[in-house]
Structure 1
Amino acid sequence: MDTDRLPGCYRHPDRDTGIRCARCERPICPECMISASVGFQCPECVRDGSGTGHAPAANVPRTVAGGVVPADPHLVTKILVGINAAVFLLGLVAPAVVVRLELLGRYVEYFGGPVEGVSTGQYYRLLSSVFLHVEWWHIGGNMLALWVIGGPLEAALGRVRYLAVYVLSGLGGSALVYLLTAPNTPTLGASGAIFGLLGATVVLVRRLRYEMRPVITMVVLMLVLTFVPFGGSLSVSWQAHIGGLVTGLLVGLGMVGPAAGRTRALVQWGTCAAAFLLAAAVVLVRTAELT
């Protein structure tokens, strides 16, 4: 018998958890956690208004990160998959769109004429490229990873915080690509943002004291796929992967690191602002080099 195993959630016995309700001390999983003034409470204690000092109607269910628990915990993930699919289909119908959306540091010759890049002021490419794919296997693999990794993370963080991790991780990945690759190298794909979601998941799993081996195994596997070549025609942007992963780790620490309290939101959005400013600084330094 494994005496070190964590207890199961009282509402979902198959989900091990190291978190307990601050009021009744029953074990609760991320889906059942509701942020309170101190720690987390279970749905029953919140519904009864136990120990809160407020009427039951004043208690709004919160995620682990303090966001409002949504009716559809995977809505943003579904929307992101839909946007990626729509842009992919648009690129099939109008290939010139790909040239306008992919990440380029400086212009290259396309269709008989020059195409400008980030260094000439087209900063939108840093994010538009995150939603762009040109191969079926590329978008299929990325969207599968987005659904598997993103869905549970969205449920744990809430919609707004989850979207912030995704966008900032994509931006961080693009910034590192822009800094370290040749300026005429086209780069595209959601991999940087997905690696960022994986980084935030590592922080979340650690915060909840869950078993780390599965998520660490996934990180190692994805890094192996990043750096070990499998076939001569496959080109992977390790810069986007590493930039996204590091950004996701940093933003994840800000999102789930602080305990519930008045300063929690300040720490969370302050971390997001710091990640954005860091990416912006990298972009400005590279732009100064190329102009």
Structure 2
Amino acid sequence: MNTTEEFKRTRKILFDKEGIQPQSKIVTTNGPVKNVHYLEIGSGKPLILIHGGGSHSSEWFNIIKPLSTKYHLYVVDRPGCGLTDSFDYTEVDFRKSAVEFVESFMNALGLDKASFIGQSMGGYFSICFAMQYPERVEKLLLIGAPAGVNLWIPLVLRLLGTKGLNRFLVKSVAKPSIKNVKNVHKQILVADVEKLSEDYLKHCYYGQLIPGNEKGFLTLLENVLTLAGWKKDLYLGDKLHHLKIPVRFIWGDKDAFEKPETGRSKTEVIQDCKFEVVENAGHCPWLDQPEVCASLISKMLED
């Protein structure tokens, strides 16, 4: 079985059901990885979407259509994820690498400035880039608790970030399967896992099987986590006042990484900030409440 082709096949099924046909493209960059995959669709002002964790660009499948009517979307796969080149995060300067990835991607596409939507780890990439290059960020929208803003991390990820133990886990109880994909979504990503279609779960499963993606995800976790949680030298929760551009937050009321109440309190130091809570939604709020999130995103990017 060619897992990459199965990933593309199941992605097409998701896109066909949503009535979208984004272009799947590869751009050559001079950043941490050479070949970066992204989906392109829509017209209007440029909007870059950066996914979380060990996910991929097509996780945004159910809000791409409404957003593409107002924005020119560039939905990117981070290094070691989706169809972007594989990447080993071992001993990498993580924050520096995150900034260089976003910068090199924009440069390769000829984008001087764009708005961003970042989710979880994609939020970390976006925040770090916006702090270093505020002149290149129109607006920053963070959906779900951004990585690095809270030191506490769910146990399953701390275990997967423990070198040695993680290799054992992915060969045994955490071995890639549709069942385990569903369990992870239930534990840490969504409020109601029954809303996720079998087609979506299959697509995520094949994403995990793409050669190099498992190593990319595990070495990333090893880089940023300890058994105690997020590494303190990569913590951003006390640095948000450095964000000098408009920042918008959309937070699920059932986010497994941090409650919206404590998240909101940290954001009060940002000069131009707005914060919305989505009810009955988890860490990936749009998977629970796509219509609500698509509407909020459009409203908050224009506000």
TM-score after normalising by structure 1: 0.31
More strand by share: 2
More helix by share: 1
Query: Radius of gyration: which is bigger?
Result: 1
Highest relative contact order (Cα 8 Å, sep 6+), 1 or 2? 2
TM-score after normalising by structure 2: 0.30
